[in-house]
Structure 1
Amino acid sequence: MVASGITGHTRPTKVKKRAALQKRKRDDVDVEKLEQAVEQLDPNNGSYRHFTDLPLSDPTKQGLRSAHFAVMTDIQARALPLALKGHDILGAAKTGSGKTLAFVVPVLENLYRLQHVGVDAGLGALIISPTRELAIQIFDVLCKIGKHGHVFAAGLVIGGKSLEAERQALTRMNILVGTPGRILQHLSQTVAFNVDDLKMLVLDEADRILDMGFQRDVDAIVDYLPKERQTLLFSATQSRKLSDLARLSLQDPEYISVHAEDKSATPQTLQQNYIICPLEEKLDTLWSFIQASKKSKIICFFSSAKAVRFVYESFRHMQPGIPLLHIHGRQKQGQRFDTTAKFSAAKYSCLFATDVAARGLDFPAVDFVIQIDCPEDADTYIHRVGRTARYNRQGRGVLFLTPGEEEGMLKRLEAKNVPIERINVRQRKRQSVKDQLVHMLFKDPALKYLAQKAFITCVRSLSLQKDKDIFHLTEYDLEAYAASMGLPGTPRVKFLEEGNAKQKKQTSRDELAVSGSSGESEDGKDGPATKKGKLVRTKYDRMFERQNQDVLADHYKNLVRDDDAEEAPESEYNAYDDDDFLAVKRRIPARPDLSDIASEDDATATRMRKVVNLEGAAQPLIIDSNRREKLLKSKKKLLKLKDRGKKLVYDDDGNPHEVYELEDENDFRAKGLPEDQRQKFLQEAREVVQNADVEDKATAKAKKKEKIRKKKERETMEKEDDDNDSRVGLEDNEEDGLANFRADAEVSDVEADEMKRSKKWFQSDSEDEDESKKGKKGKKGKKGKKTGARQIVEEPETLEDMEALAAGLLG
């Protein structure tokens, strides 16, 4: 535990700043006047009805006035005077009776009078709530009342947020609101978190905090807190057990139960009903109810988070015409906070929730609370139904009970003074959603998997319920429930199979013990017996009863027979068990009598023969051996025994026919001899082929002609275009054409000369020399003027000279 005096400051506070802070406290607050007024309070006097009747500070009065709180409720009128005087309180009141304000106001006032303000003062009040949503709601009320003049530093510590940010802020907190797990984590891990100066401890929904789920956390938290403090406990159902009081170190607590004398444990403005609804009809009934109450604000409670998710996702796809929301413990904190805010602000909405929203949450103007899954006890029912009919408003609660849960649950509610009346569902307004669920699960594998998990968690919650007078798992029709969720088959529930296997194993051991005691001899040599007559099996008996320890196991001993032993009669061979490795089922004598064999075969066939009609098989399956009987356990092998499917085609009239149909034998013979029919069929087929060939040849010939015609047209058009171009060129520019031709000729000569001079990449130097020599030899035998590899051509003067020159170049 953190030593006293350690704070979160990295350096000491300046002396002048500390003096100014103390001066501000003395000047602004008249603590002595408030202390005197509180001392004059008389808690036994029941004349306090308004908040102005109590000695409260100006900031608190202004906060109550701004929040429109004027008249106190019964629990507030009884608890506030005692809490202001510093008494420990055990408060019990109905849901929606204003218990939150009954401890928020004393926290602010007592710390205000003690001037427990500032960083150096440390933590003064700790408020613990079982759920995050309730902690957030308490923190909102605290801020709403205390923001008009109070200078306390208040903080909210819950899971799902940054742990490091909370650690840095904890050292400055005067009032802290949080959940048990998170507070214990900071007490054990945050070094600078000091609670030695704690003045007040508040537990909201104390019965839930003190149960087995939070008992260890609360015990560990109390060990960190100082013994001298004021403790306030509030809940809708309160306990006065001495063990709870000793755990919390309460000192002469005042027990306040304002509704103990009432005939009902629930508000008078709450109308409570229940309907008898089998497990497989709950989803249909819920959907029909939502369709009939679209302009209402509804909360539907389920037993598991997977069920909440499945119903939300499936109903959301079917679009009921009302906004749907869901909340459960598996969601992140931000998502849960957004859901509660949306539902509080909505005018019409339907919220699917687990018991995480069953306690303390204040949703305004809730019309219906529907409990789809039966609550585990009457206290849970009271907290669930308490989300409606708050602050003297009207509300209605409906409980769904199966026929097996009715008797036990009504007894529990009657013991808690809960009036409830049975109503019936109008069948004509009831709608079935089974077909829609089947269609959705077929299209969406993720939704199908979610439905399977929801089924398993619902079955698990039913099996884990402690009150077996209400919940009988064997009485629920689980197959019908799975079908109502749209599942094609009942999912495998592993823990139920393990329980059945364990029960079978235990039963077989008991039977073995009974059978062993029955075989005990009169002199008692087989082993000692108990008074009940059962044989006592020692560890040596179990050791010798082990099987397959050596080669002389039972199935091996059946194959071996001692020579000294007499030959076993025929009946012994039939007495072997079916589980033997090798066993003789029937023995045939060397010289049998025919009548004996016939009678023996009939008896064996009668004993072992079994006929099983398989679905989809024309012939029944005859079971005449153990191997044939094992076929029933293999789906793959049974498929081979079933008839194969037939492929059908439809004629013009819509009548189905098989692809290959066999003609009736009599009709076939009436048409003539088989060879004649064969020749006739060949002749018809030959004619069909010949006709098809004629058509194909005609089509091919027409295509060929069309292709030739198009080709001729294209050539004619190209020839006409060329003639037109050449005629226009000769008429217009005859002399220019000659000049161009001369220039082209000169250019071609130059290019040829350059090509001859240029060295090819694949020629060597020796090849160049050889070519130069050949060129020199060739020059001597030719006429005309030549210079190296270049030939000088005389310029043509007439058209005939140009044609001769062109022919020479081309030749």
Structure 2
Amino acid sequence: MSSISSARVGKSHKKITNKYLSDLKKKLSASNKKKETKQILNPEPASDSEDGGKDASHDDDEEKQIEKKKQEQEEENLKKSFRDFGLKDDILEAIEQLNFDKPTPIQAQSLGPALEGRDIIGIAQTGSGKTAAFAIPILQALWEAQTPYFACVLAPTRELAYQIRETFDALGSNMGLRCCTIVGGMDMMEQARELMRKPHVIVATPGRLMDHLENTKGFSLRALKFLVMDEADRLLELEFGPVLDKILQIIPRKRTTYLFSATLTSKIDKLQRASLHNPVKVAVNSKYSTVETLIQTLMVVPDGFKNTFLIYLLNEYVGKSVIIFTRTCAHAQNISLLGRILGFSAIPLHGQLSQAQRLGALNKFKSGDKSILVATDVAARGLDIPSVDLVINYDIPTDSKAYIHRVGRTARAGRSGKSVSLVTQYDLELILRIEKVINMKLPKEVPNKNEILALHDSVDRASAESIRQVKQFHSNRKIRRGN
């Protein structure tokens, strides 16, 4: 009995289902949904008239294939050695002397198209080997040509220019490379004499290069073959804009151009100004990012306690290599003096120092003679100081990109490092903006309150003394000028 009932129910259900599907088919046909109806009722391969569905599926497959090939290419690039690029023996020997084991990701991906003569837009995290990525293809091309004024590298800061020069000197040491650095704050006549020796590579800041192009007789870049803009996003900003436009009008339009940076704008008008020709974009990280080996934290600082929190951190990292970033030259000078009064080995680096003083400060910090560098953002970009253990943002930068460059002074070339930002009630908006850009919430670090309170009186007295000494210095300076 139950089996008969089941059969009847089955038949009844089948009729209802068939009737429902028939009605559904009519409704869907009436509402101009022919394709969807065929997919529901007739799941057979689409006919030739259904090109839209085929094309969409085909496009998806194509995109997946392209993405897969791209990943495979990137993995293949990472396996390459410098010898795989067909570099000259002199360059390979110099690379080995520098103990470069294998190309970094930015080098592996950019060297191929660069050696083919393509323009490059390179975006990679700071400390990833961008300088060698543009120096090697220039030296490879120069090996054949050996002509003066062959390449010009523009940098936004003097310190970065000297560092780039060091890399070129090292990589070109076996091929008789002549390189010179042209920056502000140095003697124009001495630089003019260097230019008259007809160097192959000129590393310069834009303003001083333009001074020589306008005033140094016999110096011209009409035969220039390569132009590099390091920290290109900074060079393409308005501050350098007018000078950069003049330089681009003077140098040949037919040249190879490289733009490299950790953070690079893609605004069309700015890229057009650089006169790029069908460039290859090589990006080994998202537009704005920090390295994974970097630990980033913040400390919420009550009003009037910032110097105490700073000294607390320096006590915690005593003997370690530390960079403290400030917003102004005055803060850098005061904090450096405060550190020295309290027995820390600190030295300032800012724009109001002479170029000789700036280079001296940087060299003392690099050599380990001074363990604490107190700097403005002149030290934020591009400087390769091998082992910085801690970066402290004494003042939070108003530009989120500056934060990325600052904290990029540590955790370089695969090493670990840490950054701590001292955040007052006035900095909350700036921190929220930075967190949005780097796509992460900065964890709060809570110091020992008893230690902070125990330090506060001593730090206050030292702060007052540092202010007094700075005032005395400026007063004596005015007297000397008066005499």
TM tier relative to shorter chain: 0.7 to 0.9
Tell me the equivalent position of 2:173. 147
Mark the CA change 1:418 to 1:164 in structure 2 (over 3 Å): closer, same or farther: farther
Tell me the equivalent position of 2:111. 80
Tell me the equivalent position of 2:37. none
**2:356 pairs with 330, 334, 342, which one?**
334
In the alignment, the residues of structure 2 paired with residue 427 and residue 228 of structure 1 have an alpha-carbon distance, to the nearest angstrom, of 63
Matched pairs, number = 401
| 1:99 CA drift (Å) | 0.6
Mark the CA change 1:51 to 1:285 in structure 2 (over 3 Å): closer, same or farther: same
Tell me the equivalent position of 2:190. 165
Superposition pairs of residues 374-773 of structure 1, within 5 angstroms:
374-430=396-452, 431-434=454-457, 437-438=460-461, 441=464, 445-448=468-471
What is the percent sequence identity of the aligned residues? 33
| 1:326 CA drift (Å) | 1.3
Q: Deviation per CA, 1:156-197, whole angstroms, max 9, x where unpaired?
A: 111222211211221312211111111011111112112111
The range that moved more, 171-180 or 391-400, is: 171-180
Contact 1:366 1:395 in 2 (8 A): yes
Give the secondary structure class of the aligned counterpart of 1:166.
Answer: helix
The one-letter code of the counterpart of 1:317 is I
**2:221 pairs with 169, 178, 195, which one?**
195
The one-letter code of the counterpart of 1:401 is V
Does residue 293 (structure 1) correspond to residue 317 (structure 2)? The answer is yes
In the alignment, the residues of structure 1 paired with residue 206 and residue 254 of structure 2 have an alpha-carbon distance, to the nearest angstrom, of 21
In the alignment, the residues of structure 1 paired with residue 116 and residue 465 of structure 2 have an alpha-carbon distance, to the nearest angstrom, of 66
| 1:411 CA drift (Å) | 3.7
Mark the CA change 1:294 to 1:445 in structure 2 (over 3 Å): closer, same or farther: closer
Does residue 369 (structure 1) correspond to residue 400 (structure 2)? The answer is no
Tell me the equivalent position of 1:260. 286
**2:249 pairs with 223, 233, 239, which one?**
223
Tell me the equivalent position of 2:308. 284
Contact 1:368 1:395 in 2 (8 A): yes
Mark the CA change 1:442 to 1:410 in structure 2 (over 3 Å): closer, same or farther: closer
Does residue 56 (structure 1) correspond to residue 87 (structure 2)? The answer is yes
Contact 2:169 2:177 in 1 (8 A): no
Does residue 123 (structure 1) correspond to residue 149 (structure 2)? The answer is yes
Q: Over aligned residue pairs, what C-alpha RMSD do you find?
A: 2.4
Contact 2:364 2:370 in 1 (8 A): no
| 1:434 CA drift (Å) | 4.7
In the alignment, the residues of structure 1 paired with residue 473 and residue 423 of structure 2 have an alpha-carbon distance, to the nearest angstrom, of 24
| 1:216 CA drift (Å) | 1.5
In the alignment, the residues of structure 1 paired with residue 298 and residue 474 of structure 2 have an alpha-carbon distance, to the nearest angstrom, of 26
The one-letter code of the counterpart of 2:128 is S
In the alignment, the residues of structure 1 paired with residue 470 and residue 244 of structure 2 have an alpha-carbon distance, to the nearest angstrom, of 39
Tell me the equivalent position of 1:325. 347
Give the secondary structure class of the aligned counterpart of 1:144.
Answer: helix
In the alignment, the residues of structure 1 paired with residue 425 and residue 352 of structure 2 have an alpha-carbon distance, to the nearest angstrom, of 31
Contact 1:75 1:258 in 2 (8 A): yes
Mark the CA change 1:58 to 1:297 in structure 2 (over 3 Å): closer, same or farther: same
Q: Deviation per CA, 1:101-152, whole angstroms, max 9, x where unpaired?
A: 1001011011223x1x2xxx3311000111111111111111111112x123
| 1:260 CA drift (Å) | 2.3
Contact 2:298 2:421 in 1 (8 A): yes
- The structure whose Rg is larger is 1
In the alignment, the residues of structure 2 paired with residue 97 and residue 375 of structure 1 have an alpha-carbon distance, to the nearest angstrom, of 23
In the alignment, the residues of structure 2 paired with residue 280 and residue 449 of structure 1 have an alpha-carbon distance, to the nearest angstrom, of 24
Give the secondary structure class of the aligned counterpart of 1:259.
Answer: coil
Contact 1:440 1:447 in 2 (8 A): no
In the alignment, the residues of structure 2 paired with residue 341 and residue 152 of structure 1 have an alpha-carbon distance, to the nearest angstrom, of 24
In the alignment, the residues of structure 1 paired with residue 474 and residue 431 of structure 2 have an alpha-carbon distance, to the nearest angstrom, of 27
Does residue 183 (structure 1) correspond to residue 183 (structure 2)? The answer is no
Give the secondary structure class of the aligned counterpart of 1:310.
Answer: helix
In the alignment, the residues of structure 1 paired with residue 301 and residue 185 of structure 2 have an alpha-carbon distance, to the nearest angstrom, of 38
Tell me the equivalent position of 1:512. none
In the alignment, the residues of structure 1 paired with residue 466 and residue 270 of structure 2 have an alpha-carbon distance, to the nearest angstrom, of 53
**1:343 pairs with 353, 365, 369, which one?**
365
Contact 1:128 1:180 in 2 (8 A): yes
The range that moved more, 43-52 or 240-249, is: 43-52
Mark the CA change 1:443 to 1:103 in structure 2 (over 3 Å): closer, same or farther: closer
Give the secondary structure class of the aligned counterpart of 1:62.
Answer: helix
In the alignment, the residues of structure 1 paired with residue 386 and residue 261 of structure 2 have an alpha-carbon distance, to the nearest angstrom, of 20
| 1:347 CA drift (Å) | 7.6
Tell me the equivalent position of 1:108. 139
In the alignment, the residues of structure 1 paired with residue 303 and residue 119 of structure 2 have an alpha-carbon distance, to the nearest angstrom, of 46
Contact 1:366 1:388 in 2 (8 A): yes
| 1:285 CA drift (Å) | 0.5
Does residue 246 (structure 1) correspond to residue 246 (structure 2)? The answer is no
Tell me the equivalent position of 2:378. 356
In the alignment, the residues of structure 1 paired with residue 241 and residue 457 of structure 2 have an alpha-carbon distance, to the nearest angstrom, of 43
Mark the CA change 1:256 to 1:418 in structure 2 (over 3 Å): closer, same or farther: farther
The one-letter code of the counterpart of 1:204 is D
| 1:417 CA drift (Å) | 2.4
| 1:406 CA drift (Å) | 2.1
Contact 2:403 2:434 in 1 (8 A): no
Give the secondary structure class of the aligned counterpart of 1:306.
Answer: helix
Give the secondary structure class of the aligned counterpart of 1:422.
Answer: coil
In the alignment, the residues of structure 1 paired with residue 161 and residue 275 of structure 2 have an alpha-carbon distance, to the nearest angstrom, of 23
Contact 2:180 2:202 in 1 (8 A): yes
- TM-score normalized by structure 2? 0.78
Tell me the equivalent position of 1:67. 98
Give the secondary structure class of the aligned counterpart of 1:260.
Answer: coil
Q: Deviation per CA, 1:316-350, whole angstroms, max 9, x where unpaired?
A: 1222xx42111111111111111111111118711
Give the secondary structure class of the aligned counterpart of 1:272.
Answer: strand
Tell me the equivalent position of 1:686. none
Q: Which has the higher contact order (CA 8 A, sep 6+)?
A: 2
The one-letter code of the counterpart of 1:308 is A
Contact 1:265 1:418 in 2 (8 A): no
Give the secondary structure class of the aligned counterpart of 1:421.
Answer: coil
Mark the CA change 1:425 to 1:84 in structure 2 (over 3 Å): closer, same or farther: same
The one-letter code of the counterpart of 2:180 is G
In the alignment, the residues of structure 2 paired with residue 164 and residue 352 of structure 1 have an alpha-carbon distance, to the nearest angstrom, of 32
In the alignment, the residues of structure 2 paired with residue 77 and residue 136 of structure 1 have an alpha-carbon distance, to the nearest angstrom, of 25
Mark the CA change 1:301 to 1:224 in structure 2 (over 3 Å): closer, same or farther: same
- TM-score normalized by structure 1? 0.47
| 1:405 CA drift (Å) | 2.3
